Structure 1
Amino acid sequence: MEYFQYYGIDWIAMVLTFLAIWQIGNKNKIGFILMMCGNTSWIAVGYLTGSVAMIIANIIFFSMNLRAIIKWSTPEKEPKVSVAEQSSTN
């Protein structure tokens, strides 16, 4: 049995994925970056194994993590209250 059949990329991908989930669970944005590195590693494993499904899935996961970084980095806009609404509450 060869432990490094995929040059250890599968092990790196696994560790990065677990670390990422841990960090996201701690509400740490670095988890998304770790997950994107894991996704990139899984894409390489998909290439080495010939799994098109693994490649496509991890490209989509990578995109979703990139979106999450952007959304977490953008401050939320406060809802604008019109003058009429302000005067009715006073």
Structure 2
Amino acid sequence: MAERIGALVEELVGRRIAVGENFFEAGLTSLTLVRLHETITGRLGVDLPATALFTYPNLGALAAFLSEPAEPSPREPVRGGRPGGSRREVRARLRRDRGTPR
């Protein structure tokens, strides 16, 4: 994925940048990152928030972010849940703590 994004960067700015090189330190501007965002979402068909290019500021970090699965696979158990339990459990605990009847 980093190679594909790197090719898009090269197309936009006319030169390659290193995988770990910060976009801004490589000379890219905010406007270039917005254009890169449009290119990535359009050509690669990726759902990507524009802020991701600022949060993941180099090719390696951005590629790793894009390679992460969006949702757990059906075979993978979903761990956790709501902090503190379900709404019903939280309400019951609040009532109990306040001494409010059901």
The answer to whether the superposition gives a TM-score over 0.5 is no
Question: Which of the two has higher C-alpha Rg?
Answer: 2
Higher helix share: 1
TM-score, L = length of structure 1: 0.29
TM-score, L = length of structure 2: 0.27
